[in-house]
Amino acid sequence: MTTKIQILGTGCPKCKQLAENAEQAARDAGIDYEIEKITDINEIMTFGVMMTPGIAIDGVVKSSGKLLKPDDIKALLQ
């Protein structure tokens, strides 16, 4: 099953770094994954995220307002 990782952010440097960290974490975890970047502020708000960057895994918000390290994201993926 493919894990869907959604990066919630408008494209700021932290959002881009979070996307890179998520990709590294998924590769390190050895899982089948797909990364989707959601940049539309209205769509981000439908997740209930008020501070970016945010990350959702399979549609569930796991973090918002902080830049997670790859190891932190890997723990969320397990």
Domains in the chain, number: 1
Query: What is the widest separation between alpha-carbon atoms in the chain?
Result: 32
Q: Using the structure block, give the residue that is written with the tokens 């960290």.
A: 21
Catalytic, out of 5, 7, 8, 15: 15
- Residue 59, domain member (yes or no): yes
Confidence at residue 78, expressed as pLDDT on a 0 to 100 scale = 87
Given the residues 4, 11, 12, 27, the one annotated as active site: 12
Domain membership of residue 75 (yes or no) is no
Walking along the chain (78 residues) 10 residues at a time, the average pLDDT comes out as 96 96 97 97 95 97 97 96
Q: Catalytic annotation on 57?
A: no
The pLDDT value recorded for residue 74 is: 97
Q: Which residues of 38-49 are buried (b: 16+ CB within 10 A; e: fewer)?
A: beeeeebeebeb
* Range(s) of the domain holding residue 57: 3-66
Q: What is the CATH number of the domain that holds 60?
A: 3.40.30.10
Any catalytic annotation for residue 15? yes
Beta pairing partners, 64: 54
At residue 31, the pLDDT reads 96
